[in-house]
Chains A and B, each alone.
Chain A
Amino acid sequence: MDTPSRHADDRKTAVVAQRMKKPFLSRKTRHLAFVWMLLLPALLVYFAYRAVPLAWNVVLSFSFWAPGKPIRFAGLYQYQELAFYDGIFWEVLKNTAIFMLVIPISIMLALALALLVDQKITGRNIYRTIIFLPYPMMVVAVGIVWRWLYNDNVGLINYALRSMGLISRPIAFLESYDFALAAVIAAAVWQILGFFMIIILTGLQNIPPHLYEAARIDGARAHHRFWRITLPLLRPSLFLCVILGVIASFTSFDLIYTMTNGGPGHATDLLITYIYKAAFTLSRFDYAAAMTVVMFVLFLALALLTNRLAGGDAGKVDISD
């Protein structure tokens, strides 16, 4: 009599009856489930490839570990090594700081260019496109092209300098301790300049024109208008460029790898290329993790500092409801 199938049947009728009266889940619960279902895949990606790695890096940096070996607590060993026993780490840190010259150089040039192409002159769209053109190019290819330009025998740059009589014998820019870092910086500026120009241009076009009219009526001269209206109102755009420049300085792996691979010696090694070498050519994952933690803390400090200076406006994303 009391077979399992009858039980199941009873239950089914009960469920159907309940569903007919009111929905299985309340409207609110369903809404909530729906929202989280939509969010979950994206959140999972960020959780796995952003949040987890951050914690994993910290754990690794306080450990002795190599692939296939058990993990052991190391305390501050890795940090002590990079602070006191690894001279190259400090050189690399210095190089990264020098590489950040890309930021002020690019921003000043970009500001000047943005002001020029913001005028009502013929062909301004063509100028904008040409100046922006290098930005979407694959950085690996850009690195190879610039290597070729810097070539000491038949490179265009040496040829130009020689025919202008500025130098008498060719300079091997990328093999020289004096010039290599500067040469890489020039290539980086060439690529990022147009991007900064577009950001600043967007900022310029968001300045309400009536401000300029009012200033003109008040008899303010052109340079006054620039210092008193344009520049202050461009602050968020300029600081955004700074933050993007800081990110670029910490992540310019492709360019260095193809142009110099950190050489000569470690003259053009940046933090990111040195971390890559430590982890993936020397298999010192624990030590590389410690350097990554340092890099991340430095990056965060610089980004927060920039944001503070910008009055909290830099790189602001619209998250208002």
Chain B
Amino acid sequence: MSRRTRILSHITLILVSVIMLTPIYWVVKTSISGENLFTYPPSIVPHDPNLFYYVQAWYTVDFVRLFTNSLAIAVLVVVVNLVLNAMAGYALTKHFPGKGMVLGFLLASMMIPFHATIIPAYLLTAKLGLLNSKLGIALPFFSHIVCIFLFKSNFEAIPSSLVQAARLDGLSELRILTRIMLPLSRPAVATNIILSFIWSWNDFLWPLIVVRSPDQETMPLGLVSFLASFEDTTGALYAFCVLVVLPSMLVFLLAQKDFIRGLTTGATKG
């Protein structure tokens, strides 16, 4: 690669990076500046940075409740996902009559966006008596098809000689799954945890429909209620935004590789 293309590439990429980071910078800047938000022109760097808006956000909304609600739902979703997806993924490595039908059903379900099911899903959840409950929010997301296939391909990559040996040693099928397959599928487990956590954490439409009382509100709902009651002219809103985005950003930065691999595996693997 010539020197000129190298420099040009860097210039373009730096420019793009600046554009991508600007909104993030701007919200962080707004959240830590002590200035009146209506000063014109707005200052580019925060003068007199302080955490006043964070304190204000903390005292205006019941942050702990929102956080624990979101976390409880996310943990429930993650745990159930691991169990259900690993089980289904393991079953799909076996040969059995009707397997083609099951695969077809799963692929067809993949083509139904959850958004196209909200009305009956709402009516069904109401019939089950689960409106305004954590279980009701979590239930539709108890399994992700992408993760089932992720487990399936991971299990298939495990040498069958290992499984045969275990079988000769008299291990039951269930034991083979929990003692041999799962410990050897760390990447799939990690990816499943990260994806289901972030999807659950960020989900908005479904809790918006199901939640009826403030005590069941999740983080995004709290954010929207805050916006509705205080307009977008208070700095505390942006402090709130930063706090809400932080956990999923943290998860992403810590497990970048697994996250990206998870998103692209189910999708691009031919």
Contact = CB atoms under 8 A, between A and B. Distances in A.
Contacts of A279: 118-119, 122
28 contacts: A32-B97, A35-B96, A42-B88, A45-B84, A46-B106, A49-B139, A53-B117, A57-B117, A131-B17, A134-B23, A141-B244, A142-B23, A144-B237, A144-B238, A145-B26, A148-B26, A148-B238, A154-B38, A163-B41, A199-B263, A202-B264, A250-B116, A253-B205, A275-B118, A279-B118, A292-B118, A317-B269, A321-B95
Interface stretch (A13-21, A90-98, A293-301): A293-301
Interface of B: 1, 6, 9-10, 12-13, 16-17, 20-24, 26-27, 30, 37-42, 83-85, 87-88, 90-92, 94-97, 102-103, 105-107, 109-124, 139-140, 142-143, 145, 148-149, 153, 173-174, 198, 201-202, 204-205, 208-209, 219-220, 223-224, 227, 232, 237-238, 241, 244-245, 248-249, 251-253, 256, 259-260, 263-264, 266-270
Nearest to A288: B119
Contacts of A26: none
Contact of B124 (A48, A141, A258): A48
A117 B224 CA distance: 36
Nearest to B87: A38
Given A137-B249, A138-B244, A116 B12 contact: yes
A50 B109 contact: yes
Contacts of A318: 149, 153, 269-270
Given A43-B102, A147-B232, 8 more contacts: A42-B85, A53-B120, A60-B119, A134-B24, A146-B23, A202-B264, A292-B116, A317-B266
Nearest to B18: A130
Contacts of A57: 116-117, 119-120
Contact of A121 (B9, B22, B37, B252): B9
A8 interface: no
